[in-house]
């Protein structure tokens, strides 16, 4: 996550909604001071506070003193920023480890555009002198703090003006948090040569197909063990490693001062399903002959004890579920867990069940993998949805997306009885992943209840999780450290606590404490043969949001508005006014009020009356000699906002509409 010290973030502050609040109490007297340009962000807070003291210099009525004190305390609370999300700043960790010696140009630099201190939107740049190699470009899906945001993508602004330096881009594997952002950053990365393993390439091409207006991309196929000479100084070698999807590549960048290893998402599995074991012999040979200067390793499992489960255990567990199921078996999982899908197919075949796939991404991935031979099944195993009634229920396995309870996703539709072909009956078994993406808890609970209502058996099964099974636990991570014996270690892919714990493990495996680098997105890590530092310069690292098809046009302001709307609703005041030559405004009729998501108007007639009175008062107390609607609207917004807060303790978004007649 990024530090937001210098800029307002939607989580840190929120009101006043626009511009500053100018406190005049409920009954402002005297002339109004016209405000200069509307300040934004933090400045607005400070200014509104300093204006808070100005009000006391104005005319006052001693009888209203108590009232005023009360109002002031309420006003202060109203203006106080709401802390929604406390971001962990890394000052302490950084101070210990930083040896800033200023920005230097040449040499080896590592910059991450995403994926540090967070799970998702992975993207790394390895720069040597004036040549850059990129690894991955993934998305991170929006959460409940980001209403209407589809996903966040890496911030590749560092490449601006450096496009010509980008020589090559490699993809580790086909998961969306590693390839999903490519269509959105294509125009920012210059014209590199692209490399990906066959399945990864097919999944990227499918992804690019969804965005037809992007420029065409040619991806070179690369296979484990191959080496690409990118330039005179840089060579890249890829090695096979295991994950929940086939064709996962560890990437080794050979630079003039040593090898940089990017592990990709990985786990160690000596008997993988649907994949060959990792090239451990080759890794050891490389370490023996060339050594590893810097290891960047997946931290996702750094807080989980032990080894990741062997696929053999997973198979046995799944087998038991199949053995005990008497009706239709519906498994909700992720379309990206190709190896798990293979296991489900294999076990279904063992029990004579036909398999039907449900969900757009599930069907897509299955088709791609079948075509390339990454999913193996007998010719008659897969049936279509339409054929589902041709077989007894206990001979059918449904593999569906929507294990997280997303609206419209496959499993939800089935649970709600909205699915065209799949109905839940008594004795059916529904299995879905036990870990829930934070924010989805209620949806998943609702989903479960729906399924129970239908009389079905519901099982939680961890091995259908997106993170279980695909990422190595502590022992796997230690094994990687022991194989690589890196001089410098930079944990990647994971929350801050995971990166720190991974760093502690590295220390246990003999990496010197001062050689463990806990970086942020945007940190420019400069590495020499025997020392490292963060450059004083930082690459831009704020979030880039993708909202529908718009990229980056959703700023913090829009997001903040959405948060206000979601929490406290909105309140529209429509005032028809007449403006006289003497500078007086007159309200023509009682103002119209519309509110949504705030209070039920019919039950709050008193409050509405008072609001109308206030509006009249505000409008008719304006003494400006030309119509200044912007100012009037500000007054309405701020004073009605304060009034409603005093009455309801809520802060709806106030939308004043002033119409001159």
Q: Choose the binding region for Zn ion from 10-18, 55-63, 257-265, 532-540 (rule: CB under 5 A).
A: 257-265
Query: Closer CB to Zn ion, residue 311 or residue 568?
Result: 311
d(CA 165, CA 133): 9
Q: Which two tokens stand for residue 108?
A: 């080896």
Q: Choose the binding region for Zn ion from 171-179, 301-309, 311-319, 595-603 (rule: CB under 5 A).
A: 171-179
Strand 592-596 and strand 570-579: the pairing is antiparallel
Among 112, 175, 207, 457, binds Zn ion (CB under 5 A): 175
Burial, 203: exposed, middle or buried (Cβ in 10 Å; 0-12, 13-18, 19+)? buried
Q: Choose the binding region for Zn ion from 194-202, 263-271, 440-448, 598-606 (rule: CB under 5 A).
A: 263-271
Residue 30 C-alpha from the chain's centroid = 50
Q: Choose the binding region for Zn ion from 259-267, 327-335, 403-411, 483-491 (rule: CB under 5 A).
A: 259-267
d(CA 108, CA 403): 43
Residues 465-494 binding Zn ion (CB under 5 A) are none
Task: Write the DSSP assignment of 489-549 as a string of letters.
Answer: EEEESB-HHHHHHHHHHHHHTT--GGGB----TT-EEEE-SS-EEE-SS------EEEETT
Phi-psi region of 30 (alpha: psi -120 to 50; beta: other; left: phi over 0): left
d(CA 244, CA 269): 11
Instruction: Find the shortest distance in angstroms from Cβ 546 to Zn ion.
Output: 18
d(CA 439, CA 417): 24
Instruction: Find the shortest distance in angstroms from Cβ 245 to Zn ion.
Output: 6
Instruction: Find the shortest distance in angstroms from Cβ 305 to Zn ion.
Output: 21
Instruction: Find the shortest distance in angstroms from Cβ 470 to Zn ion.
Output: 6
Q: Which residues contact residue 630 at a Cβ distance below 8 angstroms, ignoring those fewer than 6 apart?
A: none
Instruction: Find the shortest distance in angstroms from Cβ 154 to Zn ion.
Output: 13
* Of 421, 423, 415, 419, residue with least CA distance to 447: 415
Among 177, 443, 465, 547, binds Zn ion (CB under 5 A): 177
Instruction: Find the shortest distance in angstroms from Cβ 495 to Zn ion.
Output: 13
Instruction: Find the shortest distance in angstroms from Cβ 246 to Zn ion.
Output: 11
How many C-beta atoms lie closer than 10 Å to residue 622's C-beta?
18
Instruction: Find the shortest distance in angstroms from Cβ 175 to Zn ion.
Output: 4
Among 45, 136, 250, 265, binds Zn ion (CB under 5 A): 265
Q: Choose the binding region for Zn ion from 264-272, 539-547, 580-588, 651-659 (rule: CB under 5 A).
A: 264-272
Query: Closer CB to Zn ion, residue 471 or residue 633?
Result: 471
Query: Closer CB to Zn ion, residue 464 or residue 636?
Result: 464
Q: How many residues bind Zn ion (CB under 5 A)?
A: 3
Q: Is residue 340 a contact point for Zn ion (CB under 5 A)?
A: no
Cis geometry, peptide bond prior to residue 616 (ω within 30 degrees of 0): no
Residues 130-169 binding Zn ion (CB under 5 A) are none
Query: Closer CB to Zn ion, residue 222 or residue 347?
Result: 222
* Of 221, 237, 229, 236, residue with least CA distance to 282: 237
Q: Choose the binding region for Zn ion from 5-13, 174-182, 301-309, 354-362 (rule: CB under 5 A).
A: 174-182
* Of 237, 233, 238, residue with least CA distance to 256: 233
Query: Closer CB to Zn ion, residue 202 or residue 414?
Result: 202
Under the rule (CB under 5 A), what is the footprint of Zn ion? 175, 177, 265
């Amino acid at each position: 996550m990024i530090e937001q010290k210098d800029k307002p973030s939607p989580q840190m502050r929120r009101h006043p909604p626009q511009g500053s609040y100018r406190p005049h109490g409920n009954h402002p007297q005297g002339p109004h001071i016209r405000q200069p340009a509307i300040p934004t962000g933090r400045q607005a807070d400070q200014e509104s506070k300093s204006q808070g003291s100005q009000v006391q210099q104005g005319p006052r009525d001693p009888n209203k003193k108590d009232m005023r004190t009360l109002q002031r305390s309420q006003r202060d609370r109203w203006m106080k920023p709401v802390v929604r999300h406390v971001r962990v700043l890394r000052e302490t960790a950084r101070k210990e480890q930083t040896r800033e010696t200023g920005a230097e140009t040449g040499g080896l630099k590592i910059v991450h555009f995403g994926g540090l201190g967070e799970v998702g939107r992975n993207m790394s740049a390895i720069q040597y002198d004036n040549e850059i190699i990129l690894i991955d470009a993934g998305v991170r899906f929006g959460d409940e703090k980001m209403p209407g945001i589809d996903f966040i993508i890496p911030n590749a602004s560092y490449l601006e003006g450096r496009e010509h330096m980008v020589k090559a881009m490699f993809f580790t594997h086909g998961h969306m948090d590693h390839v999903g952002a490519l269509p959105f950053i294509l125009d920012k990365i210059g014209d590199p040569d692209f490399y990906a393993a066959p399945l990864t390439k097919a999944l990227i091409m499918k992804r690019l197909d969804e965005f037809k207006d992007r420029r065409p991309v040619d991806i070179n196929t690369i296979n484990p063990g191959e080496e690409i000479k990118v330039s005179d100084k840089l060579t890249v070698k890829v090695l096979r490693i295991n994950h929940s999807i086939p064709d996962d590549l560890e990437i080794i960048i050979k630079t003039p001062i040593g090898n940089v290893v990017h592990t990709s998402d990985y786990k160690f599995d000596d008997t993988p399903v649907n994949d060959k074991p990792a090239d451990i012999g080759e890794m050891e040979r490389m370490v023996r002959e060339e050594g590893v200067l810097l290891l960047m390793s997946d931290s996702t499992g750094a807080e989980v004890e032990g080894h990741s489960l062997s696929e053999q255990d997973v198979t046995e567990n799944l087998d038991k579920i199949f053995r005990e199921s008497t009706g239709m078996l519906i498994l909700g999982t992720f379309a990206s867990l190709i190896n798990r899908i293979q296991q489900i197919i294999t076990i279904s075949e063992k029990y004579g069940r036909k398999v039907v796939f449900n969900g757009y991404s599930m069907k897509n991935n299955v088709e791609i993998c079948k075509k390339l031979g990454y999913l193996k099944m007998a010719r008659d195993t897969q049936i279509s949805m339409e054929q589902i009634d041709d077989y007894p229920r206990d001979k059918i396995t449904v593999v569906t997306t929507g294990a997280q309870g997303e609206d419209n996703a496959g499993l939800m539709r089935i649970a709600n009885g909205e699915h065209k072909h799949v109905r839940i009956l008594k004795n059916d078994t529904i299995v879905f992943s036990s870990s829930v993406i934070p924010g989805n808890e209620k949806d998943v609970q609702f989903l479960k209840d729906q399924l129970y209502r239908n009389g079905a058996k519901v099982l939680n099964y961890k091995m259908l999780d997106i993170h279980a099974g695909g990422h190595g636990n502590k022992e796997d991570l230690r094994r990687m450290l022991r194989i690589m014996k890196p001089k410098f270690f930079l944990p990647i892919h994971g929350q801050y606590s995971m990166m720190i714990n991974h760093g502690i493990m590295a220390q246990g495996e003999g990496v010197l404490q001062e050689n463990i680098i806990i970086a942020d997105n945007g940190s420019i890590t400069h590495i020499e043969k025997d020392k490292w530092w963060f450059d004083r310069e930082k690459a831009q690292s704020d979030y880039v949001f993708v909202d529908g098809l718009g990229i980056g046009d959703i700023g913090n302001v829009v997001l903040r508005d959405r948060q206000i709307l979601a929490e406290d609703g909105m309140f529209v005041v429509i005032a028809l006014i007449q403006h006289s030559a003497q500078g007086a405004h007159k309200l023509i009729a009682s103002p119209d009020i519309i509110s949504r998501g705030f209070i039920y108007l019919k039950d709050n007639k008193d409050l509405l009356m008072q609001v109308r009175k206030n509006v009249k008062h505000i409008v008719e107390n304006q003494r400006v000699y030309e119509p200044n609607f912007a100012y009037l609207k500000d007054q309405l917004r701020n004073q009605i906002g304060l009034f409603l807060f005093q009455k309801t303790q809520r802060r709806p978004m106030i939308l004043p509409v002033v119409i001159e007649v």
